[in-house]
Structure 1
Amino acid sequence: MITAVVRYTLPPQIDHAACREHFHKIAPNFREVTGLISKHFIWSEGGWAGGVYQWERIEDATAFYTGPWLEGIIQRYGMKPQIDFYEVFAVTDNTRGKVELFEEALPPNDPE
């Protein structure tokens, strides 16, 4: 499993209410994204917004963050987003009373 944290600064005209409204509008569009397990739409008082995505595979994530999605982010927010990828080793899900342990998804960095 892969987690991607995507962040971008909001332009001044997009306040808390406008960001929330937009996220509520687009959230259903992510139901059919290939390989996407979940997306948390995030906002902070510091002027940042974005998403925390859970992906089945890194290939699905990197394919998604190009083309129309990237163009839409740049058009709406005026910047390329910061995207950080993380391999997920384990998940504790208290709502389901479950702990999941994952096998290696990304090749480890070779120190040589």
Structure 2
Amino acid sequence: MIVEMVSFDPPAGATQDDILEDARGVVEHWRSNPDLIRKHFVRGEDGRHAGIYIWPSREAAQKAHDAAWIARFRERTGQTPTITYFDMFMLIDNEAEKVTEFPIP
């Protein structure tokens, strides 16, 4: 399992309502991706925004965030995202009352 963090500074002059509206505009795109397990839209205390994605593999993450996606993101926001990958080796899901371990590659 892979956790991918795609972070960026919001476009100059963008309000939180603008950011939320942009996020709403990509919901169907991400809901239609059969590889995506989960996505979180988050904002840090410093105002930086990120998408936190859960993928079955790094290949699935890289396929979703390929050069064409990055170009569209730049066009839409004027920003270049920073993409960071993490290997998920354990998940504690209190809602499902479940702990799952994953092999570390």
TM-score, reference length from structure 2: 0.89
In 2, the alpha carbon distance for the partners of 1:19 and 1:32 equals 21
Structure 1 residue 31: Cα displacement: 1.3
Moved over 4 A (4+): none
Query: Aligned to 1:36, what secondary structure does the other structure show?
Result: coil
Residue 103 (1) aligns with residue 103 (2): yes
Equivalence for 2:64: 64
Question: Residue type matched to 2:16 in 1?
Answer: H
Structure 1 runs not aligned, ≥5 long:
107-112
Cα root mean square deviation, aligned: 1.5
Structure 1 residue 48: Cα displacement: 1.4
In 1, the alpha carbon distance for the partners of 2:4 and 2:72 equals 18
Equivalence for 1:77: 77
TM-score, reference length from structure 1: 0.84
Percent identity (aligned): 28
Structure 2 runs not aligned, ≥5 long:
none
Q: Which has the larger radius of gyration?
A: 1
